[in-house]
Amino acid sequence: MSPAPEVGVAVFILKDNKVLFGRRRSLSIAAHAYALPGGHLEFGESFEECAAREVKEETGLDIKNIELLTASNNLLSKTVHLVVIYMRAYLSDLDQIPQNIEPDKCEGWEWYDLNNLPEPTYGPLRVMLESGFSPFTATS
pLDDT tens figures, 32-74: 999 999 999 999 999 999 999 999 999 999 999 999 999 999 8
pTM: 0.94
Please write the tens of the pLDDT for every residue from 69-89.
999 998 988 888 999 999 999
CATH number at 63 reads 3.90.79.10
In a domain, 55, yes or no: yes
- Identity at 4, one-letter amino acid code: A
Q: Is residue 140 part of a domain?
A: no
Q: What does the radius of gyration of the chain's CA atoms come to, in whole angstroms? A: 14
Asked whether residue 137 is domain-assigned, the answer is: no
Q: Where are the beta strands (DSSP E) in the chain?
A: 6-15, 18-24, 34-35, 38-40, 63-75, 81-91, 106-112
Count of structural domains within the chain: 1
Question: Sign of the C-alpha dihedral, residues 82, 66, 41, 22?
Answer: positive
Q: What is the CA angle 32-111-30, rounded to 5?
A: 20
What b/e sequence results for 30-40 when a residue is b if at least 16 CB atoms lie within 10 Å of its CB, and e otherwise? beebbbbbbbe
Asked whether residue 135 is assigned to any structural domain, the reply reads no
State which residues form the domain around 110. Answer: 6-130
Domain-located, residue 139: no
